[in-house]
């Protein structure tokens, strides 16, 4: 049985059912955009990837957190580089998780959101081949023919901002809860536009020990560091799982 040890706010344990309850996200928190969370894993010395991928930093507990977070949201947003590197496939793979989503009045799959100014997307990955996946591509350029499960939203280059994308998702797709899975460049851009409400961070008990590689946010520094408040801290097999709340920002 999967269990997590709760360190904060008070000691205890969480099984998988209790974890789902603990990961409940607010609905209708903001009428202008979805309640937006980010989920990352990082080494103890701050690296978000090893050899270009996050998988070497992951663990069973991290994978449970990863898939349970997907189960709770209406849409998942990821950059094209992350889609390529991680070879994205169907977002909800567990039939029981799909059933729980239907029982709660949601689609079996979260909407997969992709942003590409150039329209260059990795159509060779399993996500695009799976006709049960729902994909929305935001772009500022004409795109070639795409699979039938892809809806294209073409915007003028000056209008293609993350704020515009999130407002579109809220107003036209009814997305109330959005999960950012990276990469670091997309996460940094969301931070700069004040669009992140919570951060889920797994700290893996590993050291990269030098070399080159991104942290969870890559790009120019924020004008002022984002203030975080820890909501809870869990542990399993040496990995730490932190849930942080960011200072309220509502652009």
CA 22 – CA 25 distance, rounded (Å): 9
- Classify 155 as helix, strand or coil: coil
| CB-CB contact of 172 with 130 (8 Å) | no
Q: Computed from CA positions of residues 155, 160, 164, 170, in that sequence, does the dihedral angle turn out positive or negative?
A: positive
Amino acid 213: pLDDT: 79
- CB-based contacts of 161-168 (< 8 A; 24+ apart in sequence): 161/193, 162/115, 162/189, 162/190, 162/193, 162/195, 163/33, 163/193, 163/195, 163/251, 165/77, 165/113, 165/115, 165/138, 166/33, 166/34, 166/36, 166/195, 167/32, 167/33, 168/138
Closest CA to 211 of 18, 85, 43, 14: 43
CA 12 – CA 9 distance, rounded (Å): 9
CA 168 – CA 77 distance, rounded (Å): 13
DSSP class per residue in 107-139: -SSPEEEEEETT----TTSHHHH-TT-EEEEEE
Q: Tens-of-pLDDT digits for all 251 residues of the chain? A: 799 999 999 999 999 999 999 998 988 889 999 999 999 999 999 999 887 788 889 999 999 999 999 999 999 999 999 999 899 999 999 999 999 999 999 999 999 999 999 888 999 999 999 999 999 999 999 888 899 999 999 999 989 999 999 999 999 999 999 999 989 999 999 999 999 999 999 999 999 887 777 899 998 899 999 999 999 999 999 999 999 999 865 44
The ranges assigned to domains in the chain are 32-199
Overall pTM surpassing 0.85 (yes/no): yes
Side-by-side strand order, sheet with 228-236: 12-15, 3-8, 228-236, 239-246, 198-204, 35-43, 177-180, 75-79, 111-116, 134-139, 150-154
Amino acid 209: pLDDT: 86
Place of tokens 């020990």: 209
Class of the CATH domain delimited by 32-199 = alpha beta
């Amino acid at each position: 049985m999967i269990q997590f040890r709760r360190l904060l706010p008070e000691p205890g344990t969480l099984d998988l059912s209790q974890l789902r309850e603990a990961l409940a996200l607010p609905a209708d928190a903001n009428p202008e955009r979805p309640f937006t969370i980010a989920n990352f894993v990082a080494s103890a010395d701050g690296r978000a990837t090893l050899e270009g991928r996050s998988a070497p930093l992951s663990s069973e507990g991290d994978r449970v957190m990863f898939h349970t977070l997907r189960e709770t949201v209406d849409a998942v947003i990821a950059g094209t580089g992350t889609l390529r590197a991680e070879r994205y496939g169907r977002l909800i793979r567990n039939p029981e998780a799909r059933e729980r989503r239907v029982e709660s009045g949601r689609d079996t799959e979260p909407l997969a959101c992709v942003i590409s100014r150039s329209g260059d997307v990795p159509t060779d990955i399993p996500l695009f081949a799976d006709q049960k996946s729902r994909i929305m591509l935001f772009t500022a350029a004409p795109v070639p023919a795409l699979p039938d499960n892809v809806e294209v939203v073409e915007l003028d280059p000056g209008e293609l901002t993350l704020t515009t994308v999130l407002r579109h998702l809220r107003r036209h797709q009814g997305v109330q809860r959005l999960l950012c899975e990276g990469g670091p460049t997309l996460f940094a851009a969301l931070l700069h536009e004040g669009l992140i409400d919570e951060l889920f961070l797994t700290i893996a008990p590993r050291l990269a020990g030098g070399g080159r590689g991104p942290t969870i946010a890559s790009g120019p520094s924020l004008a002022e560091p984002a203030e975080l408040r820890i909501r809870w801290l869990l542990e399993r097999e040496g990995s730490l799982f932190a849930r942080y709340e960011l200072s309220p920002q509502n652009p």
